[in-house]
Amino acid sequence: MQKLTNRAVQIDRSPMTFAERAYLPAIAKGLGTTLSHIFKKKATVSYPEVKRPFSPVFRGLHVLNRDENGAERCTACGLCALACPAEAITMEAAERKPGEEKLYREEKYAAKYEINMLRCIFCGYCEEACPKDAVYLSETVMPSNYDRAGFIYKKEDLLIPHPHKKDAK
């Protein structure tokens, strides 16, 4: 029969010596491998004390941005919800009332803005689709939670704090 490839290896079928039957060379080779790994640099990181740097393209927790005057940037256009392949974003638009000019930039704003983080795949399409740079994915790791309701982030959870209001803490 003709060989298909030249990768065939001839197997040595000679009888084993006494040392090979006692597995002493194999044990010594295994101990040598173990001893060589003891002196190498560890691959693990001691997490709470040392934090591993993230990739520059890491996409973490969603944030709703404000402009320099503290007004919300989101105009409830719905492009982020349309671009989301997992359909994790839901929003409801409302019209600005008289006297709320400092709160919202445009006549229309997002009265309800929710992101279901259990559905989110952190693709970043919502960030790319937003024409007002209102939504972006920060470098914060999403915290864990024990119930499903804790993973639905509302507008109040996503908005960054107002830059001109002081906390009374």
120 assigned binding-site residue = yes
Residue pLDDT, tens place only, 122-144: 999 999 999 999 999 998 888 88
Task: Name beta bridge partners: 152.
Answer: 116
77 is in an annotated binding site: yes
Q: The whole model's pTM is what?
A: 0.66
pLDDT band at 1 (very low <50, low <70, confident <90, very high): low
74 is in an annotated binding site: yes
Q: What are the φ/ψ torsions at residue 142 (nearest 5 degrees)?
A: -70, 125
For residue 168, name the pLDDT band (cuts at 50, 70, 90).
Answer: very low
Distance CA 138, CA 136 (A): 6
In 78-145, which ranges are E strands? Answer: 89-95, 108-116, 135-137
123 annotated to a ligand binding site: yes
Q: Which fold has domain 62-158?
A: Alpha-Beta Plaits (3.30.70)
Domain boundary assignment for the chain: 62-158
